[in-house]
Every structure is written in C-alpha cells, then in structure tokens.
Structure 1
C-alpha cells in the first residue's frame, strides 16, 4: 500500500490542484445532499466539490452510499434534500439521457450481436451524427484504447480487459463532461486490473474528461485518483489526495481503512512540540510530534504504518522503543511483515524490505527483538 499511495506525477500533482485554488470553479457541486429510501438514510447531508479534469474516487465499504451518490449524478436517483450542480446548473430536473454525463457499468453492457466498431458507434448513431463524423470519432476512440485490430470482432471474441476498453471507448465517444465508472475493473484478475488502472489514467489524461470512479478497492482508488473521498454510512469521512490520506489520516477509521496500520490507544500528556502517550502499565510512554491540541488525560490513538517501524536484534538508540517476541512472519516477496507481541499483549507489525534476492532471514519465530520509530513517524488522532 505504501507503493500505491504514490500516484502518478501528472496531472494530479504539481500545478494540477484546483481544490487548493480559491478561484477555481468546481465542475460538480453537491450541496447538503441527503438521500433517503423510506426510513433508511443512504446519503446524509453531504457536500463536496469535484473539479474539471479530476480523476475522483468514491471509496468505502459496501452500503456506505458511494453507488447512490453516483446514481444521483447519472440521474437514476433524485436527492431527497439538497442540490447537485453540474457546471453551475441544477441537474436534478434533467433526465439521464439529456445530461452531459455518461456511465460505464461493471458488466460493460456491450451488445453481443454488434462488433466492436458498431458497439462504439451505437450512441452516436442514435444521436443522428453524420456517418463521416461517426467514422472519424469511432476511429479516434479505437486508437485511444488501442483496439484498432479488433474493430470487426464481436465482444465474445476478445478478452475481458479488451471488453473493458470497448465499454470505455463507447462511453467516451459522445465526449461527456463527466464519466462515471461503477467498479469498472471488478471483473478482471489482479494483474490485468493493475495494468488497466494505468491505461485508465492515461486515457483520462489524454481526453481531459472528468472521471468519477466508485470502488471498494483501496489500492485501486489510491493508484488512479487525484483525490479520494472515503465514505462510511452515507457520510464523508475524509477527502484528500492519496498521499494525504495515507500519511495524514484524520481518524482511526481512515487510518485503518487505507493500508495497514498499528493503532495504539492511550492517554495524552502534552509535552514540548507534541504529546506523550501513556498506553500500557509498565511500558514507557510513546512520544509523537503533532500540531493537534490534546488536553491532559485525553484519550488518543497513535497510528503508525508498519514500514515506519524498524526491527532490531539489539536495543537501539531511539525515543520510541519497545521489546517483544516475534509471533508471526508474513513473507510477501518484496517485503516481510513481522508480528511482534509485547509483554502487554499488544501486537505491533513491522515491515522490512527484501532488497537482496537471496538472504538469510534476520529474525525468526520466537526471537526477542526491539522495535523503534521516530517521533514524527506516527500520527496522533483524537477520534
């Protein structure tokens, strides 16, 4: 997950940060939107801005409201309360087929009796576009998605990844302002899904279309998106760039949902430019630098990623250091994760990179080891 947190450098980093520009006008604006189904509140007083050319991800567990949010954008559901603006216009009264929005479904919904060329051209023909213009636009989409060689094939004659690209080409053919992608890669195997994520990013960048993707796959969201909205029970928990979500979560929910994390609960005691966390009887307090203000004795949580915890055979010179015993080891090829049990019963995970191809493992089961981390390695959270 540490790798996934580093998204591509362009256009999502550097100068492309419209959310930090007070003069930038959002393409999509949810204003105090609530959606109820009977007594059930699927979306609860939600406000969010999405900007032109963003690749925006809605991330959360099943039932968190992300698909309902997308269906309201597409026009399949209407908000119970609040307003949804697209380019400054309230889109609630506009039917789905009149919106400058297209939606790509997980099933792809390709016509099996039409070839790839005809599938991409279908929507353009229905709109009455001239034949020459259709041919030019379809050829452009085939080139964009690298499907020129498959234009005459039927959907059942190409692979799952290629069908995904056909559905994408068809969705983009009408040049929508906004493309909605509902779990678009869920049907692909892991390796193909990873490859296709980068293809999606390249296509989004080339077309300049705003993409909004719904996914429950945190790694997918962190890989493709300029910003990610983490949702739970119809509410936005945090909206940030992948880097900020991973390194600066605003709650234990986000820290635990995004990647792997150690969460240590304790009582705060203000100390210098941070806090001391008193967390277990007989254990030294842990120090964490933080700009958050904690009162004496306030319950707090230290969130620290396993790759930021060092593991040693001898006691290190460090402000935060704990001794324990290796309980379990997970070898994942590029990294090894050590589960270390402390005398208090807490289990802390530490990761080491396997930099050399053949190397004897430094630590094994039941070894007594030391763990350490710096005072800036963890994040102190108040909720």
Structure 2
C-alpha cells in the first residue's frame, strides 16, 4: 500500500495553521523582518534557517508573543495574534537553556504548567505519565535535573512543553548544548515525537544539517527576508540563488556567461577552458551573466583521461579532506578556479589511488549542476 506524501503546502485548498502577512519588525532604525509573508501548515516540522542576525529568532519571538510586528499581522488558526498575550496563545516555547526547575523532580517539572492551570489531579497524573512514556523518561521521573544527562534534560524540557498540548511548539536552537553524536540521535527522537503527537513544530537553527534532517520544509533567511522556502531535497538540489547554494552544504560556484540552445546551455567561464554544458529550467538570454553551482558528490575524479565523459576538466589536487566515509578533493584548474570532487572511501587509506599534487581529470553530467541567475 503506497504511503500518502505529506505536502499540504502543495494543496491549493489547504489553509495554513500559521500565517505571516506582510510582517515587518523594526527596532529603531534597524529592520529585523522586512515585509515577510509565509504559511506554515498543521503537523509540519518547519525550520527557520539562517546565519546570526538574519531575523529567525525575531520571527519566533513574534509567534510566542514576546515581540509584536511593526506592520502586518500574524494569524494562528485564522485568529490575529496581535492582541493575544503570550500566556493566552496555544503556543509553547522550548528554550535553548531548557530552563528546568533545579529543585523539582522530572515528574514535577513536566507537571508544573498543568498544576498552574489547576487541572484535576488524575488528569495531571495521566498526562505526565503519557509524556514520560513518549520521551522514554519513566525510570528518571523521581530524579532532579542535575542527576540526569544533558540529552535527558532536553527530553524533560520537551515533555514539559508538550504537556499542555499546544497547537504550536517553538524550539529555539534546542540541541545546541548537546555534543554532535547525541545531537544526531536526538534529532531523530524529535522527529519521532513530533510525528506521534501531531503538534506543529517550528525550529530555529543555524545548523544546516539539523534543518535538513528534521524539517518537512526549510525557510532559508537572510537580512530579514525569505530567500527560499522549500523541502530539504529541493533546497539542496534546486537552490534558488547562489546564497542558498552556498549556505546549504558544500558547493563549487563558477561564474560565466550563458549561450542557450533549447534546454541546454553552454557556459563560457574561463579563457582556454572548454565551455560547461548544462541544462536550465529558466529561460536565459545569450551572454547573460550566470553562476554554475555543482555539489562535490556530483563530480567524478580520476587520474585517467576519458574523452567519452561529459564536461571533462583537468587540474591538480591541492587539498584532501578525509571524513572517514568520504574524501573531498580540492582541485585547482589551470585558470586558477578551485573545484571540489567527492568520492566514497570503499578501500582502506593505503589502497587509495589519488593523493596531493596528482594531476587529475574531473567530469560531470549535463544535469549534475544548477544554473543560477542571482
């Protein structure tokens, strides 16, 4: 039986859970968010991604109610949040520091918000027990925060945030305090919990890998604007601009001038070098300035010259980044351009054929890269 693909954003009839409508936020003369419009759908795991100062945290703080838009409006389930105070919103926020109460047990930390609402004792017991099971913390329920690990504290904060069953959970760099291995494990736990609860998650992060791993869609931001909003595969394989291509993953960018011929395009990029032959979905004019973006894993590297291979370029290995499962080769072409190629390390180190200063040939197919106009 085929599984239904989750993509409400591609359904013209679907209404977003959250809507930013022409939202601008200024702090004095500084514009943090600039005329931004965006829809986030129910049950999405949505990532706001960008460098420090791009406006992603300001967006989250406006959703939580800690900041108000200078212009425009933010809607949750069709309701304008402008006049709704933070404590009356169906929104919860999980902070990077976790902000757990050190004198309370794990159980009491999770129950705290429910007790403040003066919920029935049996209902609190049932809800906390459910959250402990969901986050696999049953056997730690009597411990204080200092008696459990960083990863477990992170799960307590998550359980406490979800206990009140918010429509929307905001996560501000939630895994920043964890070491790399634990962070990777916790990413999958977050995805699993989000799927089980059906809560809409919005995560703020500057970690590209994290956003690409957990999110159903990613919004790449720069200077208060959305540069591209798309699924992780679309962001990676079809970046809208050189900024997105460069910000997400590893990439080689080559500037040149286009000579279109139908769907194919020849890119003249360096004196004495053959043109790069690529394909483009956007219509280009002759001699138009473009950038050709190609990921290292799409570039084949060899010491043998094979004239049958498309886009064949010659260069010298300048550097090698050994990452265990893969190696990235930095190859300097004769005109000075640096191009990266990647290969899987099938063999042990001693048996590998390419090393520093080797003359090599790089090649890639016509559809391997993306032609960008901005």
Deviation at residue 356 of structure 1 after TM alignment: 3.2
CA distance in 2, matches of 1:218, 1:299: 28
User: Which residue in the other structure is 2:310 paired with?
Assistant: 319
CA distance in 2, matches of 1:240, 1:53: 16
CA distance in 2, matches of 1:256, 1:14: 32
State the superposition RMSD in angstroms: 1.1
Change (3 A) 1:271 1:319: farther
1:1-383 equivalence runs, <5 A? 14-316=4-306, 317-357=308-348, 360-383=351-374
TM-score (ref. length: structure 2): 0.98
Aligned residues: 372
Report the secondary structure of 1:362's partner residue: coil
CA distance in 2, matches of 1:223, 1:157: 30
Report the secondary structure of 2:331's partner residue: strand
Q: Deviations over 1:238-288 (max 9, x none)?
A: 000000000000000000000000000001111232211000001010011
| Structure 2 residue runs without a partner (length 5+) | none
CA distance in 2, matches of 1:193, 1:100: 28
TM-score (ref. length: structure 1): 0.96
Deviation at residue 318 of structure 1 after TM alignment: 2.0
CA distance in 2, matches of 1:271, 1:310: 25
Deviation at residue 15 of structure 1 after TM alignment: 2.1
CA distance in 1, matches of 2:356, 2:111: 61
Deviation at residue 139 of structure 1 after TM alignment: 0.3
Residues 84 and 92 in structure 1, CA contact (< 8 A), matched pair in contact too: yes
Deviation at residue 121 of structure 1 after TM alignment: 0.3
CA distance in 2, matches of 1:140, 1:262: 48
Report the secondary structure of 1:320's partner residue: coil
Q: Deviations over 1:29-68 (max 9, x none)?
A: 0000000000000000000000000000000000000000
Deviation at residue 315 of structure 1 after TM alignment: 1.5
Residues 274 and 291 in structure 1, CA contact (< 8 A), matched pair in contact too: no
CA distance in 2, matches of 1:337, 1:319: 21
Flag as ranges the 4+ runs of structure 1 deviating above 4 A. Answer: none
